[in-house]
Structure 1
Amino acid sequence: MRGEKLSDAITYEKLHLLKRDFDGYIGRNTAKVDANLPVFYGYVISAIETSFPNLPNDAYDEFLDSITFKVLDASANSGDFEYIKKVMANAVRFKKNKGAELGINIVVGLKLLKTGDCIHALNFLKNYAALDAKLGTAVAYCYYILSLREFKKDDPSSKSHRPGEMELFSREIMLILAKKKPGVNKLPQLELDDPAFLEKIFWQMLLTALEWFPSEKWFVEIGLENAVLTGNPDMRKRFLEMGAERFYNDIQFLREMYYYKLENRDAAGAAGVVNQLLKQYPDNLEPIYLGLKLSLLTNKKITYHSFRKLAITKGMPQHLVELFDFAFDLLSNEQKEAINRLAEFEKEFSRLQFYATTLRYLAGDITSNDELRMKKARKTLLDSIDQYCLEELNRKIDRKLPVLRG
């Protein structure tokens, strides 16, 4: 959902259910819909306006776009351009925002792309390549596929000379994306019921672009962003390793690798990343912070005190150091020491009394005999300290370096 109020959640859920009902109807009655497009769209509009009289124009148009894609996707006539024009005319006629053709063009272009009609897909998509990373890679893919047809398959020397015109267009699109750095999945028209074909194209073009332009960091960055967004652990691991290998001096990829290691319970791997960060950024507080955080999770006293000493030497704010002291004692089952530290923390930093009150409450749950309550409180404590420290350190860290995660 894009910008709506939380109170609108029920409305959008009902809208989703209505879309699902229409999807089912279209799938069961494809020929009937094709033969009566004006009647069908009239029925769709009537259902929307009856059930959602105050639906915002953007959501209204997005709903029509999703229905249009389903109509085209289900129809046996979607290869007929006269039919496509009829569908487009009916959809555009009912849309409310100006520039209604943008959404319809993207929907039609994606459908043509899905069926392998790259030539006609380009006619609908190429003007919108820079609006979203996936849309841009789809346009580059169309050019790339057309480039494969520029040379005869039976000519073994056909790829020995410089790239043909279509491949150059594809490369140009990828460079434009790297320069403009659009987000990923920012357009509602890309929220497909079956996005597998678009995902496959996205990954293929990123990997191809990295062969063309191995030093272009954005291709790895957007790949990581999409891998996290779509929950793709394999591609996340692949792009993380690629980033760490190609851009080993870049704090961003090392930071992401650290969090990836933590998520996969690889404490040794996370420690290795911290050591590498310490070597490459000896005057930056972030590697020290990450080391302290890792110490909280592993409860190794020698490691913790080593990073604590380093934190003081490098000028980490004292209230953060004492906050880590409290947390380390508490998570190491040194309950009395932890409570005493919290009392001193509250006394010394009176402006943080509000936070100390919360920490005391969490400490009570962590030391309780209720295992479920204890686990939840422990996680909440770690998340709370993480978020607070990140905010504090982001104010102190040298702005010439990338900011901390969070």
Structure 2
Amino acid sequence: RGEQLSDAIVYDKLHVLKKDFSGYIERNSAKVDANLPVFFGYVVSALESSFPHIGDDDYDEFIDSMTFKVLDASRNIADFDYIRRVKTNALRFKKMKNADQGINIVIGLRLVKAGDPVHGLEFLKKYATLDVKLGMAVAHCYYTLSLREFRKDDESPAKNLRPGEMELLAREMLLKLAKTKPPVNTLRQLEVDDPSFLEKIFWQMIFIGLEWFPDEIWFINTGLKNAMDTSNAAMRKRILEIGAERFYTNINILREMYYYHLENRDPSSAAGVVNQLIKQYPHELEPIYLGLKLSLLTQKKMTYHGFRKMAVTNNMPSQIVDLFDFTFDLLNHEPREAMARIAEFENEFPRFQYYAITLKYIASDLLSTDEVRNKKARKVLLDSLENFSLRELQNRKPVKLP
């Protein structure tokens, strides 16, 4: 992420300090609530003595995280005089001009977690487009309130035909998110100890959005992004299935399906996706590249040479084809042929000599009898080839997306 090693160490130590304070809050919640100025003063003292050069943003985010933890552990969350006192004490020690933003967000999140959508909206509505999950929390508040707009015993036709004001606001919020496309999982205030309530809200509103706006692909793309960020394999599979059904001609969805099948060691399904891509985008190189990549994993010569022929016919850059030939020979235990190919590559493309030298070192590890070295080298080789190939394809011309 472009960080120096010292930054990583600081983050690790901040995490340890945060964990220590969190444990203290859990064990002494009533005592903390009764002595809020003393507690926050203690937090600031520990922060400044341990991290004298900490940036104002990291400093303020630490105060935000402590504020959420205090509220989360407290039994007084329904007492708004108490919430006001927590906010006042936390703000006293913050440094940045927008100090109230982080505090309002963590208070709003805690109220949403407590099942208080009315007051949760008061704190979160202003920040709905800073991050998708905040927007989803706001939409969820409106949706929750919409369920209260009609009495349970109201059986009038209007109940089922006309959405109420709160549901309309929920719909508007979801459409606004789809239009503005805010980032997801970028705010530090969302990094709470137990994010399960946020995940539950996020997925509920994603599926409601897909029900209300079935042609809006943003819900699919955003769901996939979050599923990958949170390593949620079940939701990733579910979203991909919906995406493949509704947006079966979209190259982005098909690409995600392809990689999903590869990760799950299902080459036959991945091959089906490649064939579909080639039929739909016969003049694009990316589907052919994905076919070449798949044939490396299956190591079937007939399949590889079929895709190689398509690559040459469609004028795929020769440096990519040459490196696929080198990799295919190497993976098929033909080291002499592989090393001859990399030598030819080095002579033909002197600007890539640095890369050829690196590949030779990787090849020596891959041919090693050491199973651990062999496995690591194989992964490095395939990852490296993918990065090189995609960069060269991108430099040749941008992929045409629908």
With the shorter chain as reference, the TM-score category is: over 0.9
1:268-307 matched pairs, under 5 angstroms: 268-307=268-307
Q: Give the Cα separation in 2 of the matches to 1:3 and 1:307.
A: 37
Q: Give the Cα separation in 2 of the matches to 1:159 and 1:304.
A: 60
Deviations 1:298-357 (A, max 9, x none): 110110010000001101011211111111111111121111112222222222221111
Equivalent residue for 1:142?
Answer: 141
1:177-216 matched pairs, under 5 angstroms: 177-216=177-216
SS at the partner of 2:7? Answer: helix
Equivalent residue for 2:322?
Answer: 322
Q: Does the aligned pair in 2 maintain the 1:284–1:397 contact within 8 Å?
A: no
Task: Tell me whether 1:99 sits opposite 2:111 in the alignment.
Answer: no
Equivalent residue for 1:161?
Answer: 161
Q: Does the aligned pair in 1 maintain the 2:292–2:304 contact within 8 Å?
A: yes
Equivalent residue for 2:351?
Answer: 351
Q: Give the Cα separation in 1 of the matches to 2:374 and 2:235.
A: 34
Q: Does the aligned pair in 2 maintain the 1:285–1:397 contact within 8 Å?
A: no
Q: Give the Cα separation in 1 of the matches to 2:252 and 2:206.
A: 19
Deviations 1:43-84 (A, max 9, x none): 111111111111100010000001001111111111100000
SS at the partner of 1:206? Answer: helix
Equivalent residue for 1:392?
Answer: 392
Task: Tell me whether 1:63 sits opposite 2:62 in the alignment.
Answer: yes
Q: Give the Cα separation in 1 of the matches to 2:352 and 2:24.
A: 59
Q: Give the Cα separation in 2 of the matches to 1:325 and 1:205.
A: 47
Equivalent residue for 2:25?
Answer: 26
- Identity over aligned pairs, percent: 66
Q: Give the Cα separation in 1 of the matches to 2:106 and 2:218.
A: 26
- Deviation larger for 26-35 or 89-98: 26-35
SS at the partner of 1:149? Answer: coil
Q: Give the Cα separation in 2 of the matches to 1:285 and 1:54.
A: 50
Q: Give the Cα separation in 2 of the matches to 1:79 and 1:312.
A: 68
Equivalent residue for 2:236?
Answer: 236
Q: Give the Cα separation in 2 of the matches to 1:46 and 1:130.
A: 34
2:303 aligned partner, one-letter code: T
Q: Give the Cα separation in 1 of the matches to 2:401 and 2:121.
A: 40
Deviations 1:225-273 (A, max 9, x none): 0000000000000111111111111100000110010000000011000
Equivalent residue for 2:37?
Answer: 38
Q: Unaligned 5+ residue runs, structure 2?
A: none
Q: Give the Cα separation in 2 of the matches to 1:104 and 1:239.
A: 33
Q: Does the aligned pair in 1 maintain the 2:36–2:86 contact within 8 Å?
A: yes
CA RMSD in angstroms comes to 1.2
Q: Does the aligned pair in 1 maintain the 2:286–2:399 contact within 8 Å?
A: no
Q: Give the Cα separation in 2 of the matches to 1:236 and 1:394.
A: 27
Figure out how many residues of one structure are paired with residues of the other and give that number.
401
Equivalent residue for 1:131?
Answer: 130
- Deviation larger for 39-48 or 128-137: 39-48
Q: Give the Cα separation in 1 of the matches to 2:222 and 2:209.
A: 12
2:71 aligned partner, one-letter code: L
1:357 aligned partner, one-letter code: I
SS at the partner of 1:160? Answer: helix
Q: Give the Cα separation in 1 of the matches to 2:398 and 2:65.
A: 46
Q: Give the Cα separation in 1 of the matches to 2:4 and 2:375.
A: 32
Deviation (angstroms), 1:6 = 2.9
* Structure 1 ranges of 4+ moved more than 6 A: none
Deviation (angstroms), 1:115 = 0.5
Equivalent residue for 1:336?
Answer: 336
Q: Does the aligned pair in 1 maintain the 2:326–2:342 contact within 8 Å?
A: yes
Deviation (angstroms), 1:4 = 4.8
Q: Give the Cα separation in 1 of the matches to 2:205 and 2:257.
A: 23
Q: Does the aligned pair in 1 maintain the 2:91–2:103 contact within 8 Å?
A: yes
Q: Does the aligned pair in 1 maintain the 2:296–2:328 contact within 8 Å?
A: yes
Deviation (angstroms), 1:3 = 6.8
Q: Give the Cα separation in 2 of the matches to 1:50 and 1:111.
A: 29
